[in-house]
Amino acid sequence: MTRDADNGRAGPAAALEVAPEQAGTRLLEFVSLHLVCESKARLRRLIAAGDIRLNDAAVSTIRTVWSGDVISLPPGLRTGPPPAAELPIRALYEDADYACIDKPAGWPVVPARAGRDADFSRALLAWMNRDAPPAGPYVRPHVVHRLDRDTSGVLLVARSAPAGRALGRQFVARTVCKTYLAIVDGAPCRDRCTVDAAIAREPGDHLRMTARAGGGRPALTEVLVRERLGPFSLLELQPHSGRQHQLRVHLAAMGHPLAVDRLYGRRTQLTGRDLSTHQGIRAAPDSAVLLDRCPLHALRIACRHPRTGAPVEHTAPLPEDMRRLLALLRAAHPPG
């Protein structure tokens, strides 16, 4: 129960009373589910400083709260439900424990800075609380794995800390099966291969990673050629580790980088000229931009349900920009 809540805006000092169904929760977790517009890091600092108090006493973040306890809050905290967001969220699956989201390309899962970078996080927070009671508690999404900004497709988001831990353990144990589709330059000579190359940060470059014969963190990717499309190919990829930029780095190490990749590829955008020069395709003007992001899509994910342990699998359809490009390439290089 929230007293003097201010509907998602900073307001005067308020207090939270622990309801019977919330008894036994740790203080930080309890507060974070009522103040979802505030970061956990900020709430942790306020508890440590004694600004958030339990029954008028300064306590640690791990103190357990019980029915009837009162948590006093300092002025300026944003209480109430999260404000609505403009970015639509498309759910592939949802239950009381987790959701599977079809993440659009162009949005970072974890924002590097405030502003537009945080729009996806804000939209996810608002979407998960669309049916929450006005006074809370609310759902604080737990993103258990990441996709690069330009990567589209399946993304698992837990609705509670226990569900997040259960899914997270599967990623650590590498029992989650992930499948990606990628449009790359060139055509691998073999239909199937495995890239086993450690990945480390590029010396002197804080953005790029590199594949190394010695040193770095072990990384393994299975590669299957789905279609050969002239100077491009459609590949199916299965990573067996989760290193930063793993698929992009391994594809570049093979000599077949993504058709568009600002860090590891040969071009920053794919235009009509690229197709007309290499394939004689005149389906678009030379100046038309056909693709301006990495053509990498998280197609499918298979794991165990975080509560029941039953096997689950989710698939995201290929986004429009990749479908459109593949249609042009297939028209120039029909199968058979």
Q: Where are the domains of the chain?
A: 2-73, 91-172, 177-302+311-332
Angstrom distance (rounded) from CA 238 to CA 4: 51
Q: How far is CA 292 from the centre of its chain?
A: 20
Query: Dihedral, CA atoms, 231, 108, 88, 7, nearest 10 degrees?
Result: 180
Active site amino acids: 148
- Fold matches, 2-73 and 91-172: no
Q: Please give the structure tokens belonging to residue 285.
A: 């003007």
Non-local (6+) Cβ contacts of 91 within 8 A are 99, 100, 101, 102, 127
Catalogue the E-assigned strands of 197-308: 198-201, 209-212, 220-229, 232-239, 270-271, 289-291, 296-304
Cβ-proximal residues to 159 (8 Å cutoff; 6+ apart), any chain: 96, 97, 98, 99, 128, 139, 141, 142
Q: Which of 177, 230, 221, 178 is nearest to 197 (CA)?
A: 221
The reported pLDDT for the residue numbered 88 is 85
Q: In sequence order, what are the residues at sequence separation of 6 or more whose Cβ sits closer than 8 angstroms to the Cβ of residue 327?
A: none
Q: Which CATH architecture does the domain made up of 177-302+311-332 adopt?
A: 2-Layer Sandwich (3.30)
Query: Would you identify the CATH topology of the domain 91-172?
Result: Pseudouridine synthase (3.30.2350)
The per-residue pLDDT for 301 is 98
* CA proximity to 101, closest of 90, 87, 112: 90
Tell me what pLDDT residue 327 has.
92
Preceding omega of 137 cis (within 30 degrees of 0): yes
**Nearest-angstrom CA–CA distance, 301 and 298:** 8
Alpha helices (runs of H) in 71-159, residue ranges in sequence order: 119-128
Q: Are 38 and 22 in contact (CB under 8 A)?
A: no
pTM of the model: 0.85
Beta strands 98-103; 91-94: pairing state: antiparallel
CATH architecture of 2-73: Roll (3.10)
Residue segments in the chain with a per-residue pLDDT below the cut of 70: 1-13, 111-118, 277-284, 335-336
Name every residue whose Cβ is closer than 8 Å to that of residue 274 and which is 6 or more positions away in sequence: 267, 290
Rg of the chain taking only CA atoms, in angstroms: 24
Q: Quick one: pLDDT at residue 215?
A: 79
> Which amino acid type is present at position 330?
R
